[in-house]
Amino acid sequence: MLELIVISTLNGVLFGMLLFLMASGLTVIFSMLGVLNFAHASFYMLGAFFGFQISRWVGFWPALLIAPLLAGAIGAGVERYGLRRVHKNGHVAELLFTFGLAFAIEEIVQIIWGKSPVDFRVPPLLDFPAFTIFSTNYPAFKMFMLAVSIVIFVGLLVVLKKTRIGLIVQAALTHPHMVGHLGHNVGRIFMLVFGVGTALAAVAGVIAGPALVTQSNMAGLLGPILFVVVVVGGLGSLPGAFVASLLIGLVQTFAVSMNGSLAGAFGPLSPDYAATWLSDIWNVTIAQIAPIMPYLLLVLILIFRPMGLLGTRDT
Amino acid sequence: MSDLASSAAPPLPAAADKLKFYGLWLAVIVALLVLPKLFSSGGSLTTFSLIGISIIFALSYNILLGQTGMLSFGHAVYYGLGGFLAIHAINIVAKNKFAIPLPVIPLIGGLTGLVFAALLGWVSTRRSGTAFAMISLGLAELVASSALILRTFFGGEAGVSANRTKVFRLFDWSFGPQIQIYYLVAAWTLLAVLAMYALTRTPLGRMCNAVRDNPERVQFVGYDPHVIRYLAFCFSGFFAGIAGALAAINFEIANSAYLGAVQSGTVLFATYIGGIGFFIGPIVGAIFVTILSLGLSDLTPVWQLYFGLIFIAVVMYAPGGLTGLLMMHRPLLRAGTLTRVLPSYAVAFVPTLAMITGLMLAIETIVHFTVNPGDDSHIKSFGIPFDAASPYIWAMAAMLIFGGFYLSRKTWTRVAQAWDEALSSARDKGVAA
Amino acid sequence: MRKLAMIAAVALPMFGTAAFAQETVKIGYIDPLSGGGASVGEVGYKTFQFLADELNAKGGILGKKVEIVPLDNKTNPQESLIQAQKAIDAGVRYVTQGNGSSVAGALSDFVTKFNDRNPGKEVLYFNYAAVDPVLTNDKCSFWHFRWDANSDIKMEALTNYMKGVPAIKKVYLINQDYSFGESVRTTAKKMLASKRPDIQVVGDELHPLLKITDFAPYIAKIKASGADSVITGNWGQDFALLLKAAADAGLKVNWYTYYAGGTGGPTAVKQANLNHQVFQVGEGIPNIDHKPSQEFEKALRAKYDFSLFYPRAVNEMRMFAAAAEKAKSLDPVKVAAALEGMEWDVFNGGKGVMRKSDHQFFQPMYISSLGERSEKEPFDEEKTGWGWKMVAKIDTAATELPTTCKMERP
């Protein structure tokens, strides 16, 4: 039992931090600019493929730096020449713009790198088990991932709360005109925020690429889970997103480790109902529904606490 | 005050307007009857049927998005559930030999959509905006996932199938051939479009617009925006259910793809691209998107890229959707100044077309070399054969893109000028923009 | 406005659909060519094109050229039906499809109804990879022929092999939560119980299809159960991520799989460094000592950058040609009659038979493992350097299972 709890907690934290890594950029964009960026996962994918290609040429570590810069530059370009134009037509237009972008990026990646998965490997420097608990190995790369997530979290928090630029960004979100009157270039601030958000997505891509599968459908398969993280955490709240990632990671991991079902708790269903839909509900295990729990959480949070876990304003 | 009253309750239309109105509907009916005579292949009949279904679905979505201002990511839930219930209904009717003919089945789908919208709607419509969008997203994921878990009802990922010809027959219509399905869909589309148009003219429809524009004011005048959003949501679910049931009848199968995110995304696309600000917007969008998604993949392997680019272009350059683009010209038409803009359109059209052609040529050539590097370089895309290896093609593509871009920038500035002039002279003539 | 748009609308999909005189034999290839499933669909399409070229080099079928018409179904059953309708309009009388049992079920149903309602215009459906047993059992159709062994047959072959391996003591089942995963798991339990009652099934897991990004918790469960072997029907990223998580955690078990050879599979196995620990059941591998098939493999690899994943497609196309020659006609009804009960020397050597009672093809099955190669294994997979090694061959007779099909013949 202890083994199960320890292992599940560890796995949950690791998964949660992976989620935060992927969602941190979206938190920045979605909660600060209010843009429902459906292309976020596409930038994550771009990061993975850039990382793959650059690490072929000059190695993984330079790739970890260059790929996000590239993706960030593309992101900033998208904001400058696309989103800014669309912005005045409202959120739905922005959203559809990013939808279209996601389509186009997926196809471009397919044209360049093909449709099959590419062989993106963990760098040799980190390709060893960091430690072993209850005879389960924890690879060094996952620890690295954890460290990067925490660094990003702390870094973003410090930048937003303690630096001048962070204050200007926050001010520009609520009072763009006032900030503009004070002589700041609001357009450039928005462009910067969007660029940083997409660069963060690309960091997640470079790191998750070798750990997961780098393929042209990876953006689509990620699905809307990142929105769940941001909304459950509370819009505009970075600590909220952090807590929500951990919560979702832990909930999902613990749910997977449980085999309980209604049939297990109350005994098998009487054979009269064996062929009805009741038997489906009766026999489904908690482990089976684990991956849809985040969505259940999302709906419940929005019903009972619409500002999210740590959010301050209504969504 | 009088201004507000007149826009909230339009005066009774004059006889001429009435005639125009009924004439339009009559023309549509005639067109619907003639259409299958012109295009009678199974494929085109299927295409028409799908367009009809998607028109109902997109219009039902616009009750939410365009009229009440609610962005939903999960409208396919009601479409899909309507489809599933319709399939189960067909099977039950066929098995028990109930005297219920097939044309009535869509009503069952509609009622299903209504019931589920009534169940799920109350909590989700408490707020509009992002909260509503996210709840609809979460609910959609939950329902779509449950469809794979509750196998007995949803049939797993294989879905549930039925045979529409085994249902009780009226007037000896078997509904086997596609042409009969076409007429069924056409009739229901007409009915649903009429009903939804009528809905926009009711006080409820007007209050929906008010909730969209200013929910606080609505509260001041004594209405609860939540209730109005809820009612709109229920109506929307009802029509979505009808569309789902028609789709189920057309394909004779219902499966989890009906409930999925792709279906929800497509309807959002169709509605917005058509134009959410006009009643006929979603109709135009549904036609456009259905054709595009059916036809584009036949023309080019990288259709997704074009799909994405087209949407980006529409969102950027036609924020009011395709209908918005056309409606922009109404004041000019009325003032008779449209002819002043048309020549500059014609001038701008050529370089723009050149640029697009160049872009397509470049894309197709690049795709050929990255995707099928070893194959014969004489390729055919969009029905036009050319040699992708020839340097002339490369030069031509580059020239078309850059030349076209340069010229079209110039010419579009002229279009803007001509437009401004035409509009201001239209204003002078007293036609409101 | 609306009418105009509609006319334009119809004109678009109408391009090239006018029914030409039958100068060619058109085979509609309905599979994903865009979107998430495209990587698999594209390999299939090129394989079929290669086979059509092979037939055409020999003069085609009954003197007519074979043409593969690609139709993108985006892995969506509804879209597949639209594409099938389009194909029929274009004069296609034979369609082939493989990816996704849900699509296969819908197509089989569609073809059956279409043929029932349009006598004289029959269409045949050749299934090369959809393995849901139901298609040749309860929902069998006269118009559907399957060349891939269905999942029950594969499990029969796999368990026939496993019953002779005494080292297997504790088995863990992990599968995707949909009809295929469900049928793998139930048949595995049933067959293991009757063939090796001493084997303990220590875990039986279903997880949602293509929704898991981190398999670590599942691996922790497998580890805690003390299993020595895992049976899984997972494919695509569900397979790759499962293996990666296992390698990360240092889980040492043998993997018995259906689709380790699928696109991306060998790369994942190599990355996880599971040398000869991943087994696959299938109807053939490149490294079988059989000269014609090795030559075919060489020719295919010289042209494309993938290996032959579908030996069954070879059987399908060659048998189709033979059946048409035998019937001396390209009328689908006659071809179907000729295919029924047809015996065939299969691609990798040995006898196969298209069983008349359910239109399921039976053929020798192979258990193979992926890992480092000796001189006997000339071919590697996905440029990993590792290749398939034959571990066991299960003869045709040992794969035959009863069917519940009650075929309705025209």
Single-letter amino acid, residue C98: G
Instruction: Please indicate whether, in this complex, the C-beta atoms of C213 and A15 are within 8 angstroms of each other.
Output: yes
Chain A residues in contact with B292 by the CB 8 A cut-off are none
Burial class (CB in 10 A: 0-12, 13-18, 19+), B356: middle
The residue among C365 and A287 whose pLDDT is bigger is C365
DSSP state of C61: B
Q: Using one digit for the tens of pLDDT, what is the confidence trace for C255-265?
A: 999 999 888 89
Find the mean pLDDT for residues A172-201.
87
C-proximal residues of B, 60-99, CB under 8 Å:
none
Closest CA to C49 of A112, A216, B363, B375: B375
Chain C residues in contact with A215 by the CB 8 A cut-off are 39, 237, 264
Instruction: Please indicate whether, in this complex, the C-beta atoms of A135 and C223 are within 8 angstroms of each other.
Output: yes
Find the mean pLDDT for residues B388-411.
85
What is the residue whose two structure tokens read 């497998």?
C222
Cα–Cα distance, A146 to B431 (Å, whole number): 64
**String of DSSP letters for B373-429:** TTS-SEEEETTEEEETT-HHHHHHHHHHHHHHHHHHHHHHHHHHHHHHHHHHHHHHT
| pLDDT grade for B395, boundaries at 50, 70 and 90 | confident
Across the interface, of A114, A213, A253, the residue whose CB is closest to C217 is: A253
Cα–Cα distance, A39 to A29 (Å, whole number): 11
pLDDT over 50 (residue C13): no
Across the interface, of C13, C72, C77, the residue whose CB is closest to B253 is: C77
Average pLDDT, chain A: 87
* φ, ψ of residue A281 in degrees (nearest 5): -65, -40
Q: Using one digit for the tens of pLDDT, what is the confidence trace for C309-355?
A: 999 999 999 999 999 999 999 999 999 999 999 999 999 989 999 99
**Closest residue, chain C, to B175 (C-alpha):** C117
**String of DSSP letters for C201-216:** EEEEEEE-TT--S--H
Cα–Cα distance, C13 to C9 (Å, whole number): 7
- Kindly report which listed range (A54-63, B330-339, C368-377) carries the lowest average pLDDT score: B330-339
Q: Domain ranges for chain C, please list them.
A: 17-149+302-362, 152-282+366-399
Q: Using one digit for the tens of pLDDT, what is the confidence trace for C180-230?
A: 888 899 999 999 999 999 999 999 988 888 888 889 889 988 988 999 999
User: Are the beta carbons of B158 and B255 closer than 8 angstroms?
Assistant: yes
Q: What class is the C17-149+302-362 domain?
A: alpha beta
pLDDT over 90 (residue A52): yes
Residue of A30, A87, A295 to mutate for B, most B C-beta atoms under 10 A = A295
Which subunits count as partners of chain B given 3+ CB pairs below 8 Å? A, C
Cα–Cα distance, A302 to C181 (Å, whole number): 34
Q: Three-class SS of residue C178?
A: coil
B-proximal residues of A, 166-225, CB under 8 Å:
223-224
What is the residue whose two structure tokens read 């100044």?
B337
pLDDT of residue A36: 82
Which subunits count as partners of chain C given 3+ CB pairs below 8 Å? A, B
CB atoms within 10 A of CB C205: 22
Q: Three-class SS of residue A14?
A: helix
List the alpha helices (DSSP H) in B172-280.
Answer: 178-201, 203-213, 215-220, 225-251, 261-274
**Closest residue, chain A, to C203 (C-alpha):** A259
A-proximal residues of C, 39-98, CB under 8 Å:
39, 42
A292 near B CB under 8 A = yes
Which subunits count as partners of chain A given 3+ CB pairs below 8 Å? B, C
Q: Using one digit for the tens of pLDDT, what is the confidence trace for C361-403?
A: 999 999 999 999 998 899 999 889 999 999 999 999 999 999 9
- Kindly report which listed range (C3-7, C306-310, C335-339) carries the lowest average pLDDT score: C3-7
C-proximal residues of B, 132-191, CB under 8 Å:
145, 148-149, 151, 156-159, 161, 163, 165, 176-178
Q: Using one digit for the tens of pLDDT, what is the confidence trace for B179-216?
A: 889 999 999 999 999 999 999 999 999 999 999 999 99
Cα–Cα distance, C295 to C307 (Å, whole number): 12
Cα–Cα distance, C172 to C246 (Å, whole number): 13
Closest CA to B181 of B325, B2, B45: B45
Instruction: Please indicate whether, in this complex, the C-beta atoms of C88 and B42 are within 8 angstroms of each other.
Output: yes
Single-letter amino acid, residue B89: A
User: Are the beta carbons of B352 and B317 closer than 8 angstroms?
Assistant: no
**Residue B14: which residues within 8 A CB-CB, separation 6 or more?**
none
Find the mean pLDDT for residues B342-354.
86
User: Are the beta carbons of B153 and A277 closer than 8 angstroms?
Assistant: yes
**Closest residue, chain A, to C210 (C-alpha):** A221
State the pTM of this model.
0.90
* Helix (H) or strand (E) run with residue C254 in it: strand C254-257
Across the interface, of C177, C206, C216, the residue whose CB is closest to A15 is: C216
**Residue B198: which residues within 8 A CB-CB, separation 6 or more?**
none
**String of DSSP letters for B327-346:** HTTHHHHHHT-HHHHHHHHH
Between chain B and chain C, how many beta carbons pairs sit less than 8 Å apart? 141
- Kindly report which listed range (A170-174, B160-164, C285-289) carries the lowest average pLDDT score: A170-174
Cα–Cα distance, B175 to B172 (Å, whole number): 9
**Residue A75: which residues within 8 A CB-CB, separation 6 or more?**
A43, A194, A195, A197, A198, A199, A201
pLDDT of residue C16: 39
Instruction: Please indicate whether, in this complex, the C-beta atoms of A103 and B315 are within 8 angstroms of each other.
Output: no
Single-letter amino acid, residue A179: V
**Closest residue, chain A, to C32 (C-alpha):** A115
pLDDT of residue B11: 57
Domain B16-319 has CATH 1.10.3470: yes
User: Are the beta carbons of C64 and C97 closer than 8 angstroms?
Assistant: no
Chain B residues in contact with A89 by the CB 8 A cut-off are 315, 319
| pLDDT grade for A265, boundaries at 50, 70 and 90 | confident
**Closest residue, chain B, to A38 (C-alpha):** B265
Closest CA to B381 of B319, B312, B306: B306
Residues facing residue C389 across a β-bridge: C369
pLDDT over 90 (residue A125): no
Q: Domain ranges for chain B, please list them.
A: 16-319, 330-428
Note whether ipTM > 0.85 here: yes
pLDDT of residue B2: 39
pLDDT of residue B41: 83
Q: What is the β-pairing status of strands C351-354 and C361-362?
A: antiparallel
**Closest residue, chain B, to C117 (C-alpha):** B176
C-proximal residues of A, 201-230, CB under 8 Å:
211-213, 215-218, 220-223
**Closest residue, chain A, to B313 (C-alpha):** A97
**Residue C5: which residues within 8 A CB-CB, separation 6 or more?**
B284, B287, B288
User: Are the beta carbons of C376 and C287 closer than 8 angstroms?
Assistant: yes
Query: Could you tell me the CATH superfamily of domain C152-282+366-399?
Result: Response regulator (3.40.50.2300)
Residue of A302, A304, A305, A313 to mutate for B, most B C-beta atoms under 10 A = A302
Tokens of C164: 């002779």
Chain A residues in contact with B315 by the CB 8 A cut-off are 86, 89, 93, 96-97, 100
What are the C-alpha distances in Å from C169 to residues B222, C201, C227?
73, 9, 8
**Closest residue, chain C, to B41 (C-alpha):** C89
C237 to chain A, minimum CA–CA distance in Å? 7
Q: Using one digit for the tens of pLDDT, what is the confidence trace for A213-248?
A: 888 888 888 878 898 998 899 887 889 999 999 999
pLDDT of residue A313: 63
Instruction: Please indicate whether, in this complex, the C-beta atoms of B298 and C15 are within 8 angstroms of each other.
Output: yes
Find the mean pLDDT for residues B157-176.
82
Tokens of C11: 């004109």
Single-letter amino acid, residue C374: S
User: Are the beta carbons of C100 and C178 closer than 8 angstroms?
Assistant: no
C-proximal residues of B, 394-413, CB under 8 Å:
none
pLDDT of residue B428: 81
pLDDT of residue B10: 53
Across the interface, of A96, A105, A277, the residue whose CB is closest to B272 is: A96
**String of DSSP letters for C100-111:** -HHHHHHHHHHH
Find the mean pLDDT for residues A250-255.
91
pLDDT over 70 (residue C14): no
A-proximal residues of B, 112-151, CB under 8 Å:
123, 126-127, 129-131, 133-135, 137-139, 141-142, 145-146, 149-151
Residue of B251, B252, B292 to mutate for C, most C C-beta atoms under 10 A = B251
C152-282+366-399 and C17-149+302-362 share a CATH fold: yes
Q: Using one digit for the tens of pLDDT, what is the confidence trace for B294-312?
A: 888 878 888 889 989 998 9
pLDDT of residue A274: 66
Across the interface, of B287, B299, B374, the residue whose CB is closest to C6 is: B287
Chain A residues in contact with B150 by the CB 8 A cut-off are 277, 280-281
pLDDT of residue B7: 42
User: Are the beta carbons of C71 and C27 closer than 8 angstroms?
Assistant: no
Cα–Cα distance, C379 to C383 (Å, whole number): 10
B-proximal residues of C, 107-146, CB under 8 Å:
109-110, 113, 117, 132, 134
- Rounded to the nearest angstrom, the gap between the alpha carbon of residue C266 and the centroid of all alpha carbons in its chain is 17
Q: Is C328 left (phi over 0), alpha (psi -120 to 50) or beta?
A: left
* φ, ψ of residue C96 in degrees (nearest 5): -130, 145
**String of DSSP letters for C282-318:** ES--TTSS-HHHHHHHHHHHHHSSS----HHHHHHHH
B39 to chain C, minimum CA–CA distance in Å? 8
**Closest residue, chain B, to A300 (C-alpha):** B135
Between chain A and chain C, how many beta carbons pairs sit less than 8 Å apart? 112
Burial class (CB in 10 A: 0-12, 13-18, 19+), C227: buried
**Residue C345: which residues within 8 A CB-CB, separation 6 or more?**
C351, C352
A19 to chain C, minimum CA–CA distance in Å? 10
Q: Three-class SS of residue C388?
A: strand
Cα–Cα distance, B297 to B288 (Å, whole number): 14
Cα–Cα distance, A228 to C17 (Å, whole number): 45
- Rounded to the nearest angstrom, the gap between the alpha carbon of residue B350 and the centroid of all alpha carbons in its chain is 29
Find the mean pLDDT for residues A48-55.
95
Cα–Cα distance, B377 to B392 (Å, whole number): 13
> CA torsion, points B227, B233, B239, B241, in degrees to nearest 10?
-120
Instruction: Please indicate whether, in this complex, the C-beta atoms of C268 and A213 are within 8 angstroms of each other.
Output: yes
**Closest residue, chain A, to C175 (C-alpha):** A288
